[in-house]
Amino acid sequence: MRSTPKYLAAALVMYGTAAFADEQAQQFRDAFLDGSAGWDTVQARAKEEGTVNLYYWGGNDVLNVWMDRVVAPALEAEGVKLNPVRITSTKDAIDLVLAEKNSGKGVGEGSVDAIWLNGENFATLKRQDALFGSFAQLLPNAVNIEWDQSDSRSLLNFRDFGVETEGKEMPWSGEQYVCAVNAARVEAGDVPSTFEELRAYLEKNPGKFTYIKPPHYLGNTFVQAAIYAHNPDGNGAEAFQASLDEIGAAELARLITPGLEYLKELEPLLLDANGGKPRYPEDNAALDGLFLNGEVNFNCKFGLYAVATGLATGTYPEQAQEFIFPKGNMIKNKNYLAIPANAPNPAAALVLVNYMTSVDSQVSKLKNVGMPAGIDPWKLSDEDVAALAEASPGHVGVDPAELDANTAPDTNATLVDVIEATWLDYIERGSDAPIADIVARAAENLNK
């Protein structure tokens, strides 16, 4: 009998191992999700897997250091090595998961164990059935999250950009779109709280405001806030919680037209416009620089503690403080950790997510990185609440109750691309086409 060539034998061994590992991973997933595999089983398997590949946006150096110095040692104590894969766009991880899924890589055969995400990226994975399953409420540290849907405070644990989470991602951090003003340059009575007051200020002080350019998510958020404030039905964010299929392109166009017309009219008053086209910074770092240098008097972005941390690091002007804008429409959301269906190390991923939602981890993240807690304080002991409060960088110019009283949710994830495309066409490129036509075209392109 002829012997099997060495390279073919090796390939057969590799194939057999992969198939066996895949079957084991499937059995583990099923057992965990149906509750028959306890946490001891998860921890034991995580040690056997030995590694967890966490894909996340790596543009925050402070967060990167925290991952290396705090998260990695904590997981090492559980027998798991953290492999932080720092990417420039979360979509890169989404594309990788879907490419591997479409190539036939099933449970246990992919490259990505966990992803830091929210919004459109979560919606994409959910729509493509590329998520591990409803794991969130099964983790030991799920006790730190509000899962009672009758409690209105639980909304962001169940809906991510209007999309039901179904426990397929775990809240990790929270954020709110907050504006800062340089009080050395703007009198208290001139600080706007509404979009109309902002326009009035800029008519007297042209060029002293701008916002980040869409499609950057911070620019999209400012546009969404303007659309909420100019909702012709007067109900703010409410109408934008439904999906594009539910609303329809024509109705969406009607709802967003007043807000986009306002932004069009505002353009000649923005930074460097001089009555023409303005300068839109590309990202938050660019806007921070304009704010610090006095080129603009305001800085709006996601950053619940951005002023306190900016003052501490010298990246904000010395008299910067927060203010309430736009009143009633300061968009608040959470971001999450999700596990792909084809995660190569699913048990290690569960151990990672569980650690990330522990009180100790959340306190450390808040203290060292300045990222707000994703867990819910009212679910914690008085001692743990005090620890979070002590770790908080604090607020300058407003108190938490004021911020909480002026929140609004994100738009439904299915609307984001259409609104973004409409802004780019109508505002950036200066299209003369009716907004209804632009929205219809954007919606059609989305469905291709």
Q: Is residue 321 part of a domain?
A: no
Q: Is residue 306 part of a domain?
A: no
Q: Is residue 407 part of a domain?
A: no
For 70-105, write each residue's pLDDT tens digit: 999 999 999 999 999 999 999 999 999 999 999 999
Backbone φ, ψ for residue 164 (5° rounding): -65, 130
Q: Is residue 303 part of a domain?
A: no
Q: Which residues of the chain have pLDDT under 50?
A: 1-21
Residue-wise burial string across 60-76, b where 16 or more C-beta atoms lie within 10 A, e elsewhere: eeebeebbeebbeebbe
Torsion of CA 192, 195, 198, 204, to 10 degrees: -130
pLDDT value of residue 446: 82
- Structural domain of residue 201, as residue ranges? 186-296+412-446
pLDDT value of residue 379: 98
Let me know whether 127 and 209 are in one domain: no
Let me know whether 134 and 258 are in one domain: no
pLDDT value of residue 22: 78
Let me know whether 141 and 286 are in one domain: no
pTM greater than 0.85 (yes/no): yes
C-alpha span between 310 and 358 (Å, rounded): 27
Q: Is residue 104 part of a domain?
A: yes
Q: How distant, in Å, are the alpha carbons of 51, 156, 384 from that of 89?
A: 23, 23, 34
Let me know whether 383 and 338 are in one domain: yes
The CATH number of whichever domain residue 344 belongs to comes to 3.40.190.10
pLDDT value of residue 375: 98
> Helices (DSSP H) in 267-381: which residue ranges?
284-292, 306-313, 346-356, 359-369
pLDDT value of residue 7: 31
Q: Are 445 and 253 spatial neighbours (Cβ–Cβ below 8 Å)?
A: no
Q: How distant, in Å, are the alpha carbons of 8, 47, 190, 296, 314 from that of 183?
A: 72, 53, 10, 12, 16
pLDDT value of residue 217: 92
pLDDT value of residue 102: 95
Q: Is residue 326 part of a domain?
A: no
Let me know whether 155 and 232 are in one domain: no
Let me know whether 170 and 190 are in one domain: no
Place of tokens 């008085």: 382
For 107-147, write each residue's pLDDT tens digit: 999 999 999 999 999 999 999 999 999 999 999 999 999 99
Let me know whether 366 and 416 are in one domain: no
Let me know whether 235 and 347 are in one domain: no
Strand partners for 55: 85, 115
Q: Is residue 329 part of a domain?
A: no
Place of tokens 């964010």: 237
Let me know whether 238 and 380 are in one domain: no
Let me know whether 156 and 238 are in one domain: no
Let me know whether 36 and 165 are in one domain: yes
Count of domains forming the chain? 2
Let me know whether 136 and 211 are in one domain: no
Q: Is residue 325 part of a domain?
A: no
Place of tokens 């400012």: 222
Q: How distant, in Å, are the alpha carbons of 13, 171, 259, 260, 339 from that of 131?
A: 29, 15, 35, 35, 6
